[in-house]
Copies of this chain bind each other. A is one copy, B any other.
Amino acid sequence: MTARRLHLNAFLMSNGHHEAAWRLPGADPFVNHDAAYFTRLARTAERGLLDSVFFADSPSIMGEVAQRPTSVLEPTVLLAAMATATTHVGLIATASTTYNDPYNLARRFASLDHISGGRAGWNIVTTATLDAARNFGLDELPAHRDRYERAAEFVDVARRLWDSWRDDAAIGDKSGGTWAVPERVRAIEHSGPYYRVHGPLNTARPPQGHPLLVQAGSSEHGRDFAARHAEAIFTAQQTLADAQAFYADVKRRGAAAGRDPEQIKVLPGIVPVIGSTEREARALDEELDRLILPEHARAQLAGTLRLDPERLPLDAPLPADLPAEDEIEGAKSRYTLIVKLARDENLTVRQLIGRLGGGRGHRTFAGTPEQIAATIEHWFTAGAADGFNVMPAVLPSGLEAFVDHVVPLLQARGLFRTEYTGTTLREHYGLPRPPDGRTPPLAGPVRPVTALTGGKAGR
């Protein structure tokens, strides 16, 4: 039996995940428009043998244009440009089920998978902002539950479209004059509450069968959705205990949905701030926090909490009368995480802003490569993670430091690959290629977790 191995994803974002990274002396504030810059980052990730790189996305401006690089290229197009100059690293794009059509999106991901030789992944999001809704003819954000019901049907349709061509459909028989066997290309004739899609897709089944399906919602609906559909889960967890509880919960939900929990990879976010000494790392962390303009950050926090910024004096704790998660239609779990962090650690608004500046709720960890590798190993072996979503505070330097100084320590500990053993994203994550010619049976309705015998995940 081979040892269990870590999975590492590099979450790429402009000059880095820290809000103020674009203001550092060496930073070019316009890298977001530069495919060559992101291609270099992907090549760095590939040099470090990482499983994948990843872009978040939303069809609206995220945050304040004054505050940070808010002009972002569409990820499937950007990753296609990055595909040609890389050979192994996976390419994961975020795309919304609420604001796309299944036919078009399934085809774009199939195209990216063909172009990259089987390296495409789709981070499935339902998009939690009113700004996005208003770009698509809506006056209100659709309800959380409705968005997830739509997402489930959308993913079902996408799978069936990818399967609408059997792997052996296109035969290219030149002498007989048959390019594809018509009986192996089938309409899907889908008719559901949200979509009617006849099919077949006009792009043959992609190299991976289906692109890797990734998900990042951590609310109740988000976890149920992940348990049924996700093969990798990105999640924000501040403490080991919280991460262990989340890990056990989604594996248990996956098992309840009839899936092999091993085939659901859980990757908490980590924001490594790396120095050659702990002191050097902390100095970088503090320099970054000093560059955050408090009025910008307060406006952003107020948006997340659905409050008037005036209700958040910088040197006072959060107001006591915040709404419960149930009343939030947006990014529910992120809301809860931020409020819990502030209350558990008794932070003022200013202190909370500093904590969120690096990772927006993900765990910021300033330290030496040894300290970071030790933390990764601890979480990995303590039932909190199958790997990590690495979110460098500063790019490209943070990714280079991780690849050059943390990855070798993880390899020395026997936790991480020393060469790529496959060429597809599914192979990197140790996930099977879905069989062709039929839709993999959907797990039935998810049984409520409370109906199961309690206790830890059964693995």
Does A73 lie within 8 Å of B180, measured CB to CB?
no
Separation of A115 and B66 alpha carbons in the complex (Å): 23
Q: Is A309 an interface residue (CB 8 A)?
A: no
Contact of A114 among B73, B99, B172 (CB under 8 A): B73
**Closest Cβ neighbor of A96 among chain B residues:** B104
Write the A147-186 contact mask toward B (1 if CB under 8 angstroms, else 0). Answer: 0000000000000000001000110101101111110010
Interface residues of A in 358-387 (CB under 8 A from B): none
Say yes or no: A197-B135 contact (C-beta < 8 A), given A59-B104, A174-B27, A179-B65: yes
Does A104 lie within 8 Å of B115, measured CB to CB?
no
Q: Is A60 an interface residue (CB 8 A)?
A: yes
Q: Is A74 an interface residue (CB 8 A)?
A: yes
Separation of A170 and B65 alpha carbons in the complex (Å): 8
Q: Is A254 an interface residue (CB 8 A)?
A: no
Does A70 lie within 8 Å of B202, measured CB to CB?
yes
Does A203 lie within 8 Å of B80, measured CB to CB?
no
Q: Is A22 an interface residue (CB 8 A)?
A: yes
A28-36, A218-226, A227-235, A406-414 - interface stretch: A28-36
Separation of A183 and B66 alpha carbons in the complex (Å): 10
Residues on B with beta carbons closer than 8 Å to the beta carbon of A203: 71-74
Write the A58-77 contact mask toward B (1 if CB under 8 angstroms, else 0). Answer: 11111011111111111011
Does A29 lie within 8 Å of B174, measured CB to CB?
yes
Q: Is A420 an interface residue (CB 8 A)?
A: no
Query: A104: shortest Cβ distance to chain B, in Å?
Result: 6
Residues on B with beta carbons closer than 8 Å to the beta carbon of A175: 23
Most chain B CB inside 10 Å of its own CB: which residue of A20, A66, A74, A134: A74
Contact of A136 among B39, B68, B101, B169 (CB under 8 A): B101
Q: Is A397 an interface residue (CB 8 A)?
A: no
Does A296 lie within 8 Å of B68, measured CB to CB?
no
A81-89, A209-217, A239-247 - interface stretch: A81-89
Write the A84-105 contact mask toward B (1 if CB under 8 angstroms, else 0). Answer: 1100000000000001110110
Query: A203: shortest Cβ distance to chain B, in Å?
Result: 5
Does B65 lie within 8 Å of A177, measured CB to CB?
no
Most chain B CB inside 10 Å of its own CB: which residue of A20, A35, A115, A135: A135
Residues on B with beta carbons closer than 8 Å to the beta carbon of A424: none
Separation of A104 and B81 alpha carbons in the complex (Å): 18
Separation of A135 and B105 alpha carbons in the complex (Å): 12
Does A81 lie within 8 Å of B115, measured CB to CB?
yes
Separation of A258 and B84 alpha carbons in the complex (Å): 44
Contact of A180 among B70, B101, B296 (CB under 8 A): B70
Residue pairs across A and B with Cβ atoms less than 8 A apart, 9 shown, are A29-B174, A35-B84, A58-B202, A59-B104, A59-B107, A61-B185, A65-B181, A66-B178, A134-B196
Query: Which 9 A-B pairs give the minimum distances between C-beta atoms?
Result: A29-B172, A134-B198, A71-B204, A65-B180, A73-B111, A80-B80, A137-B196, A74-B111, A103-B135
